[in-house]
Structure 1
């Protein structure tokens, strides 16, 4: 009877040992995946910073151009005010350009987040796909 008890305990111990080994392998694979994701996220953060810098420069340039256009339109308005009929036409043109520059700026700001999101998801997908291919190749070599 004691032999059966000892054998049962031995089988349980061996089973527990095998379970611990599989859990350790799983945790190691999970750790590698987390490290890979960390690298991917760091890469994405750098790319987002670069895109943000470029977008900020583009917005500054757009604002400078809009300011320049606005100043030129104001000087043009002061000259044209001497002629009554031309004055109304220039004011209408000025309002259209101001509205257009506002729309352009609004569209650029609106689409900036979408472009960043698309790039982030694309890069994340590519990283995950590359890791999957590497693992598949390692399994085939083994």
Structure 2
């Protein structure tokens, strides 16, 4: 019976040794896997840091570009106001010429002997309008 006890102890010892060998192999494999995961995470962290820096630079450039566009847009506002004022001035000149024309027509019907003088004033007004128009056009071309 003692022999049987020794054989059982030997079988248990051999089984325990086999279990320990497989446990060591499993732990070594797990260690390699964890090492690989750690290196992958480190590489991923470096890539994310690079992407973050590039994104920050892009954001700064975008903000600078938006500020530049805003400044240029604001600087164009007076130009548009000037063009609007110029259009109003032309409209007033056109209304004045229309009024003069209407007045000339009415006066012509009333006073036929003053027709020559009115025609001369009309010509002066047209010349003035053309000169004003030419000057405004020259000013606009200098602005642009």
Give TM-score scaled by structure 2 length. Answer: 0.55
Q: In the alignment, what sits opposite 1:76?
A: 97
- Counterpart selection for 1:44 from 62, 65, 68: 65
Q: Deviations over 1:17-46 (max 9, x none)?
A: 101111101110110111011111111111
Q: Which residue of 47, 54, 74 corresponds with 2:75?
A: 54
State the structure with bigger RCO (CA 8 A, min sep 6), 1 or 2. 1
Q: For residue 8 of structure 1, what is the aligned residue in structure 2? A: 29
CA RMSD across the alignment: 2.4
Stretches of structure 2 lacking an aligned partner (at least 5 in a row): 1-21, 107-118, 120-125, 127-144
Larger Rg: 2
Where in structure 1 do 4 or more consecutive aligned residues deviate above 2 Å?
none
Count of residue pairs the alignment pairs up:
88
Q: In the alignment, does 2:42 pair up with 1:21?
A: yes
Deviation digits for residues 98-132 of structure 1, max 9, x if unmatched? Answer: xxxxxxxxxxxxxxxxxxxxxxxxxxxxxxxxxxx
3-state SS of 2:25 partner: helix
